[in-house]
Chains A and B, each alone.
Chain A
Amino acid sequence: MNRCWKLGDNVATDELLPFQYMTLTKPSELGLHILENVRPGLAAKLSPGDILICGTNFGCGSSREHAPLALKGAGIGAVVAKSYARIFFRNCVNIGLPAVVCPSASEEIEEGESATLNLTAGKIETHSGKKFTFEPFPPFLMEYLLNGGLINTLNQSRNI
């Protein structure tokens, strides 16, 4: 069971990771600054595997991969949203961070609840017994997520 944290609609990557930290590249360092301007202190409260529950168009704006890397570095194990901005979604799967689309879970899960997310089965279940299903990722993207990202997957196919 992992703790859920909730955000609203149209959260921009500018908000997820402010510009002044974009010269950092280590996920652990980036993770110290997530949502610093809009949810100050959040980074310190997270535990590994926590789940971010978001509204529509999550991660809109700048293409900065630093934003999902920061979430990963802060311990976020998965993001659940009604929808994602395109580049943010690609960035998540490319770094092996599950970005799940599940509007009902996004609506009904409250901040502070605990939940389990089963990626391959496409299921989310909260400690209070709420159950949600989501459409599994296409096989090639599932491979990225299970391998820890695009680079690991690419290396497997390169055989070098």
Chain B
Amino acid sequence: MRRKMPTEAEKILARGCGRARTQAGEIVEVEVDRAMVHDNNAALVIENFGRISGASVKHPNRAAFFIDHHSPSTTVKATLHHDLMRRFTKEHGIERFHDCGCGISHVTMLEEDLARSGEIVVGTDSHTTGEGARGAFATGIGATEMAAVLVTGRIWFRVPETICVIFEGTLPKDTCARDLMNCVLSRFGPEGANYRSVEFQGDGIDALSFDDRIMCCVMSMEMGAKNAMFVQHPDQHPDPDAEYVRTERFDLNGIEPNVAVPSSPTNAWPLSEIETQKIRINQAFIGSCTGGLLSDIEKAAGILRGKKVAKGVRLLVIPASKKIYGETLSLGYIEALHDAGAIIGSPACGACGGHDVGILAKGEVCVANSPRNMKGRMGAGGAIYLGSAATVAASAMAGYVTAYKSDSNGGYD
């Protein structure tokens, strides 16, 4: 029998620990290529850094600090943490400090080429998996561990088994990549990829935009993935002989619009079944690292141009980065959304984390294209439905959770 070939995660971690190869299950210590810290966890990182004897930042040029959760801050405590970050980065020569309004770390890092193919990236955010869109091994870690990474430049990993997710065919009209990813999450469940690496493959990925790929990699975390990747580098093609622990195929032709109902991102239901229930919404949110990308805002603006948000619905639109905000302004998307009745927020995580704007009152319902809908996510007692930008825009117009139908001639009541 032919010897199985290493998976992409095994290859990248082998390079990280200076060996020819590694195998799933081994524990290895690797050099970190990029370490991201954001304001939600920075105070704990800095406190723990202070507990390390003789601590200094080993590679200031590999660290990147972001203010993206409380941006701009709305609480005194968050402001103090921001101040701490500004002083820490200055004191330790960390030049990559992204202040309020820069946008979300994951998206901004990809824009600024801070997560390259084959690199090992760690971040103090579970959705760091999103940085795998260009083929980096990117994963989330906690604050204490990040403090140690800043000092040592290294981290231990158990080399993960790899799951191969194969997309075949083409998505039907009015179906988005988010609908597809909701189906992937539904098949795997909340723990289906726990501790494992996810590789996306198949001819269906050719039609996925870079924005779609970011969304797929971020959302993989919701089935537990350690990291997720679209392998891009010419000498890093997915290997048909690689040792995958599980391979799942998805026929894109058969995917229909759907939403994840409360309270797990893996609870996907077809919209054809949900919309008949006419679930009234109080808030619609287009934003976050899975939903505030240029293509999301373009889609929402296209649907809402010349139309109005339903009475009693707050539509909140937050571009994921400063760059995206600028593009949506110059392309007229923001104007169209503003005219439709949207509230536009400063580039940041926004309602997804509930830290600054868009908190739900008890009993309120939100439809969003953000990544999470766990209990209490946007406020205690709120309920969140997760779908595509098209679904959020159509629901905002209708006033209840519904799918976008391009041939409906504006029949939203």
Binding site for B on A (CB under 8 A): 10, 12, 14-15, 18-20, 22-25, 36-38, 56-57, 60-66, 69, 83, 85-87, 90-91, 94-95, 138, 140, 149-151, 154-155, 158, 160
Residues of A within 8 A of B148 (CB): 150-151, 154
Residues of A within 8 A of B43 (CB): 23, 25
Residues of A within 8 A of B279 (CB): none
Q: Is the CB of B376 within 8 A of A19?
A: yes
User: Smallest distance from the beta carbon of B223 to chain A beta carbons, Å?
Assistant: 10
User: Smallest distance from the beta carbon of B210 to chain A beta carbons, Å?
Assistant: 24
Residues of B within 8 A of A15 (CB): 374-376
The verdict on B77 contacting chain A, using a C-beta distance below 8 Å, is yes
Contact of B141 among A37, A90, A95 (CB under 8 A): A90
Q: Which residues, 110 to 146 on B, are CB-close (under 8 Å) to A?
A: 124-126, 128, 140-145
Contact of A25 among B47, B142, B156, B376 (CB under 8 A): B47
Known: A10-B264, A87-B142, A94-B145. A64 touches B52 (CB 8 A): no
Residues of A within 8 A of B195 (CB): 86
Distance between Cα atoms of A62 and B143 in the complex (Å): 12
The verdict on B40 contacting chain A, using a C-beta distance below 8 Å, is yes
Q: Which of B43, B48, B222, B355: most chain A CB closer than 10 A?
A: B48
Distance between Cα atoms of A83 and B196 in the complex (Å): 14
The verdict on B147 contacting chain A, using a C-beta distance below 8 Å, is yes
Q: Is the CB of B142 within 8 A of A91?
A: yes
Q: Is the CB of A150 within 8 A of B54?
A: no
Q: Is the CB of A86 within 8 A of B194?
A: yes
The verdict on B27 contacting chain A, using a C-beta distance below 8 Å, is yes
Q: Is the CB of B375 within 8 A of A90?
A: no
Q: Is the CB of A138 within 8 A of B27?
A: yes
Q: Is the CB of A61 within 8 A of B126?
A: yes
Q: Is the CB of A23 within 8 A of B144?
A: no
Binding site for A on B (CB under 8 A): 27, 40-41, 43-44, 47-48, 51-54, 70, 75, 77-78, 81, 124-126, 128, 140-145, 147-148, 151-152, 156, 190-191, 194-195, 222, 224, 226, 264, 353-355, 372, 374-377, 380-381
User: Smallest distance from the beta carbon of A4 to chain B beta carbons, Å?
Assistant: 23
Residues of B within 8 A of A90 (CB): 141-142, 145
User: Smallest distance from the beta carbon of A96 to chain B beta carbons, Å?
Assistant: 9
Residues of B within 8 A of A36 (CB): 380
Which are the 8 A-B pairs with shortest beta-carbon distances? A23-B77, A160-B54, A91-B142, A65-B142, A160-B53, A57-B191, A12-B374, A63-B126
Residues of B within 8 A of A155 (CB): 51-53
List 12 additional contacts besides A19-B377, A87-B141, A91-B145; criterion CB under 8 Å: A19-B355, A19-B376, A23-B70, A37-B375, A57-B190, A63-B140, A65-B41, A66-B44, A83-B191, A87-B126, A90-B142, A140-B156
Contact of A94 among B70, B144, B152 (CB under 8 A): B144
Distance between Cα atoms of A150 and B152 in the complex (Å): 12
Q: Can you list 16 A-B contacts with CB-CB less than 8 angstroms, sorted by A residue number?
A: A15-B374, A19-B376, A37-B375, A37-B380, A61-B222, A85-B191, A86-B194, A91-B142, A94-B142, A94-B144, A151-B147, A154-B152, A155-B52, A158-B52, A160-B53, A160-B54
Q: Is the CB of B191 within 8 A of A158?
A: no
Q: Is the CB of B44 within 8 A of A65?
A: yes
User: Smallest distance from the beta carbon of A137 to chain B beta carbons, Å?
Assistant: 12
Contact of A86 among B222, B224, B264, B377 (CB under 8 A): B224
Residues of A within 8 A of B53 (CB): 155, 158, 160
Residues of A within 8 A of B152 (CB): 154
Q: Is the CB of B377 within 8 A of A151?
A: no
Distance between Cα atoms of A65 and B41 in the complex (Å): 8
Q: Is the CB of B194 within 8 A of A85?
A: yes
Residues of A within 8 A of B126 (CB): 61-63, 87
Residues of A within 8 A of B375 (CB): 12, 14-15, 37-38
User: Smallest distance from the beta carbon of B46 to chain A beta carbons, Å?
Assistant: 9
Q: Is the CB of B81 within 8 A of A23?
A: yes
Q: Is the CB of A57 within 8 A of B376?
A: no
Residues of B within 8 A of A24 (CB): 77
Among residues of A, the one whose C-beta sits closest to the C-beta of B221 is A61
Q: Is the CB of B372 within 8 A of A149?
A: no
Residues of B within 8 A of A160 (CB): 53-54
Residues of A within 8 A of B226 (CB): 86
User: Smallest distance from the beta carbon of A22 to chain B beta carbons, Å?
Assistant: 6
Q: Is the CB of A10 within 8 A of B44?
A: no
Distance between Cα atoms of A66 and B41 in the complex (Å): 8
User: Smallest distance from the beta carbon of B196 to chain A beta carbons, Å?
Assistant: 9
User: Smallest distance from the beta carbon of B147 to chain A beta carbons, Å?
Assistant: 7
Residues of B within 8 A of A61 (CB): 126, 222, 372, 374
